[in-house]
Amino acid sequence: MNPLVRRTIRLSAIILLPLSIFSAFLWGRRLAMSILIGGILGLVNLRGLARGVEGLIGSHRPTGKIIFLSLLRLTALAVILGLLFYYQAVDVLGILIGFTIVFAVIIKEGLRSVKDLPKE
């Protein structure tokens, strides 16, 4: 696995776990589980995206398999979210918080890796 993705997953877990525990005490278990589910879905999506990009870089052109797997990943994410919302198993705010935390960590780690690049 890419070191950038590994650092992103580690930092996201470090932020998501205490936040969900804290929110369970303040606002209830449903919001805490929603934050964790949103974060996990965001991290799984990131990992799938990273695999797709690595496959694209290795082949120098998009193959049908890479495009199909990307569409399958996005469809699975939409179906999972749709089912969770349909059965009212999660809180929308919690899912958004989880996704936002993962997104912010992705941006932070991306900026950090660009800063660490050698200057030409």
**19-57 residue pLDDT tens:** 999 999 999 999 999 999 999 999 999 999 988 888 777
Q: How many structural domains are present in the chain?
A: 1
| 50 assigned to some structural domain | yes
With vertex at residue 105, the alpha carbon angle to CA 101 and CA 110, rounded to the nearest 5 degrees, is 150
> What's the CA dihedral at 29, 74, 108, 19 to 10 degrees?
0
Domain that holds residue 65: 3-115
| 120 assigned to some structural domain | no
**55-111 residue pLDDT tens:** 777 766 667 888 888 899 999 999 999 999 999 999 999 999 999 999 999 999 999
| 55 assigned to some structural domain | yes
| 64 assigned to some structural domain | yes
| 109 assigned to some structural domain | yes
The answer, as to whether pTM is greater than 0.85, is yes
Q: What percent of the chain has pLDDT over 90?
A: 70
| 57 assigned to some structural domain | yes
| 28 assigned to some structural domain | yes
Helix (H, G, I), strand (E, B) or coil at 108: helix
**107-118 residue pLDDT tens:** 999 999 888 878
Task: Compute the residue count for the chain.
Answer: 120
